[in-house]
């Protein structure tokens, strides 16, 4: 046990999903923490009631800014990922010898298992789920946690020596690691996102790159060969380097050096078969056409998952078999059904322009009825309009939510001569798309916007879409 892990005057800053999981851990281990949250006490009344007597002190609402007092009462603060701490608090904490870490670091210090960690701008949830399912089907004891919804700390006591834990990590969760050192780390891709939090692309790439920073020669770093920002994230990474690419192997050099390191393995395609390539040696995983999940991006997800699980000791045949079984995850280009020759998909998770464009790349043919819009977060929709402009087949746009105001203004004012309809509710918008569709059409909910106008989350919006789908099926 290190000196750091013996400390137990713990402060938990943020009493949401992460903070409550830390609090549960403390209760289980007879630690009474200090609770800090910017929300006022009345908003946290249910927590106060449920955990009455299980904490020493609270600093809620305005009191959460009384850092001098807070820091006198703790020696470690576990900060939730959604919170950006002002710099002066960091300085004060340093002076008072108080450590501020994230929940991932806190849990890692207690973890007996081996870690596969995945970060990236897009594809994290799909990749961790693929990796986890491959490990499960191969019979390797494994656990899934992180940004996907289950905090690492809430499962850490279940992890035995030799088990694998697969972690989805956001850039926020990597900001406050210290000793966190995954055995295998993947960056799926890095595109512009969360700049408000990280300042600029340099800050964002640096935050992602922290996934590699403590790795050594026993560990493995997996990057996206076609996405240079993932190369830049390597920094001074000291582990073994692997890369994935959807390019055909004949386009790849037999030896390639990035950041002064040889790429030891490539996962790539050979005549549309997913393969692992080491030097001249090449081994097949499965034909791309055997994947049930659609789109080039899912081939990328399958390739990096194959690399990680191969390194974890799963034979290639078992990886191929598990990938064949993978049906995708809910709300990510999820196929709902074929009704009167109309294919219907739920991509409610597409909450930004980039992910909607990714979905559109999957549907290059067929008349598309695209459902867009939601809450307003000031995104620039121009790349989306440009992408649609170049689409070969026809499409009709169905818009709703506050963002549809700006969308329809864009369409009126710009040079975009698109066919679109605007509605005052999500339900009307969806039903109109369903009712207007004719044989051969595709109806796709891929909103390019967050859901908070009518829903509490993208999951709730996706569930509503599915409910409307079932209603429509019953009525037909
Ligand atoms: N709070 C403050 N001050 C702040 C911000 C929040 O006191 O400035 C308090 C809130 O009052 C609340 C608590 O902190 O009581 C909420 O903490 P949080 O915002 O860190 O969210 P959690 O509920 O702990 O959920 C987090 C992740 N959320 C964020 O990173 C914003 C969840 O990812 C994750 O599933 C969960 O931990 C478990 O690990 C969600 C997410 O949106 C899905 N992630 C972003 C993304 O995927 O793009 C990063
Ligand atoms: P994340 O957890 O990083 O948000 P998800 O796996 O939940 O990513 O996928 C969200 C959306 O991002 C999908 O619906 C799809 O449109 C897009 N996406 C998934 N994988 C990739 C990828 N490898 N590259 C680019 N976009 C992707």
| Residue 315, strand partner residues | none
Q: How far is the CA of 358 from the centre of ligand 2 (A)?
A: 8
pLDDT for the residue numbered 425: 96
358 in contact with ligand 2, CB cutoff 6 A: yes
Inter-helix orientation angle 458-475/426-436, to 10° = 40
Q: What does 324-379 look like in DSSP terms, one character per residue?
A: HH----TTSSEEEEEETTEEEEE-TT--SHHHHHHHHHH--SS-EEEEE--S----
pLDDT for the residue numbered 193: 65
Q: Residue 111 phi/psi, 5° resolution?
A: -85, 130
Q: Could you give the maximum distance between any two Cα atoms of the chain, in Å?
A: 69
Whether 276 has a pLDDT exceeding 70, the answer reads: yes
**Topology of 334-475 in CATH?**
3.90.190
Whether 280 has a pLDDT exceeding 90, the answer reads: no
| Cα–Cα distance for residue pair 32/53, rounded to 1 Å | 8
Whether 140 has a pLDDT exceeding 80, the answer reads: yes
The CATH homologous superfamily of the domain defined by 10-101: NAD(P)-binding Rossmann-like Domain (3.40.50.720)
Residue range 350-381, pLDDT digits in tens = 998 988 999 999 998 889 999 999 998 778 89
Angle at 379 between CA 348 and CA 424, to 5 degrees: 60
Whether 452 has a pLDDT exceeding 70, the answer reads: yes
Q: SS3 of 141, please?
A: coil
**Which region, left, alpha or beta, applies to residue 448 given φ > 0 means left and ψ of -120 to 50 means alpha?**
left
pLDDT for the residue numbered 201: 82
Domain boundary assignment for the chain: 10-101, 111-325, 334-475
- Which residues are within 8 A (CB) of 443 and not within 5 positions of it... i.e. 6 or more apart? 342, 343, 344, 345, 369, 371, 433, 434, 437
Q: SS3 of 337, please?
A: strand
Q: How far is the CA of 108 from the centre of ligand 2 (A)?
A: 26
| Cα–Cα distance for residue pair 102/105, rounded to 1 Å | 5
Residue range 170-224, pLDDT digits in tens = 989 999 999 999 999 999 999 866 666 777 788 889 999 999 999 999 999 999 9
Helix (H) / strand (E) element for 180: namely none
Q: Among 172, 224, 297, 299, say which to mutate for ligand 2: greatest number of ligand atoms within 8 Å of CB.
A: 297
First-to-last alpha carbon distance for the chain, in angstroms, is 64
| Cα–Cα distance for residue pair 107/460, rounded to 1 Å | 29
Q: How far is the CA of 350 from the centre of ligand 2 (A)?
A: 8
Lowest mean pLDDT among 198-202, 267-271, 370-374, 396-400: 198-202
| Cα–Cα distance for residue pair 340/473, rounded to 1 Å | 10
pLDDT for the residue numbered 5: 43
| Cα–Cα distance for residue pair 63/40, rounded to 1 Å | 9
Percent of the chain's residues with pLDDT above 70: 97
CB atoms within 10 A of CB 22: 27
Tokens of 3: 């000196």
pLDDT for the residue numbered 6: 43
| Cα–Cα distance for residue pair 413/420, rounded to 1 Å | 14
| Cα–Cα distance for residue pair 136/132, rounded to 1 Å | 6
Q: How far is the CA of 123 from the centre of ligand 2 (A)?
A: 3
Q: SS3 of 375, please?
A: coil
| pTM of the entire predicted model | 0.90
CB atoms within 10 A of CB 196: 8
Ligand 1: residues with CB < 6 A are: 14-19, 37-39, 80-83, 146-147, 149, 151, 170, 172
**Topology of 111-325 in CATH?**
3.40.1190
pLDDT for the residue numbered 251: 84
Of 118, 119, 122, nearest to 353 by C-alpha is 122
């Amino acid at each position: 046990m290190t000196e750091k892990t013996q400390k137990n005057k713990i402060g938990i800053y943020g009493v949401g999903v992460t903070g409550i999981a830390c609090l549960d851990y403390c209760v289980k281990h007879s630690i009474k923490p200090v609770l800090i949250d910017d929300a006022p006490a009345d908003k946290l009344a249910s927590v106060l009631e449920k955990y009455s007597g299980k904490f020493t002190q609270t600093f809620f609402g305005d009191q959460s800014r009384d850092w001098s007092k807070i820091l006198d009462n703790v020696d470690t603060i576990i900060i939730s990922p959604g919170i950006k701490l002002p710099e002066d608090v960091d300085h004060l904490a340093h002076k008072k010898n108080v450590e501020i870490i994230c929940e991932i670091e806190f849990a890692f210090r207690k973890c007996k298992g081996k870690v596969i960690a995945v970060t990236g701008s897009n594809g994290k949830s799909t990749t961790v789920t693929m990796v986890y399912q491959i490990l499960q089907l191969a019979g390797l004891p494994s656990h899934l946690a992180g940004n996907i919804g289950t905090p690492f700390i809430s499962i850490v006591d279940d992890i035995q020596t030799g088990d694998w834990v697969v972690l989805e990590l956001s850039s926020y969760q990597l900001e406050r690691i210290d000793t966190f050192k995954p055995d295998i780390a993947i960056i799926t891709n890095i595109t512009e996102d969360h700049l408000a939090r990280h300042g600029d692309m340099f800050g964002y790439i640096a935050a992602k790159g922290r996934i590699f920073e403590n790795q050594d020669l026993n560990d493995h770093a997996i990057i996206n060969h076609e996405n240079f920002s993932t190369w830049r994230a390597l920094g001074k990474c000291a582990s073994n380097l692997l890369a994935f690419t959807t390019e055909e192997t004949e386009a790849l050099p037999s030896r390639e050096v990035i950041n002064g390191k040889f790429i030891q393995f490539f996962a790539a395609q050979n005549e549309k078969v997913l393969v692992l390539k080491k030097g001249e040696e090449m081994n097949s995983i499965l034909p791309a056409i055997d994947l049930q999940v659609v789109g080039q991006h899912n081939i990328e997800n399958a390739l990096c998952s194959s690399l990680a699980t191969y390194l974890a000791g799963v034979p290639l045949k078992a990886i191929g078999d598990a990938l064949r079984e993978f049906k995708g995850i809910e709300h990510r280009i999820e196929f709902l059904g074929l009704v009167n020759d109309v294919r219907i998909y739920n991509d409610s998770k597409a909450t930004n322009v980039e992910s909607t464009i990714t979905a559109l790349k999957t549907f290059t043919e067929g008349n598309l009825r695209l459902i867009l819009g939601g809450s307003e977060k000031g995104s620039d929709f121009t790349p989306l309009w440009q992408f649609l402009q170049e689409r070969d087949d026809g499409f009709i746009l169905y818009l709703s939510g506050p963002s549809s105001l700006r969308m329809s203004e864009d369409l009126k004012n710009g040079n975009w001569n698109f066919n679109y309809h605007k509605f005052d509710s999500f339900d009307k918008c969806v039903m109109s798309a369903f009712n207007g569709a004719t044989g051969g059409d595709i109806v796709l909910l891929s909103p390019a916007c967050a859901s908070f106008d009518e829903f509490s989350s993208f999951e709730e919006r996706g569930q509503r879409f599915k409910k409307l789908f079932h209603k429509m099926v019953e009525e037909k």
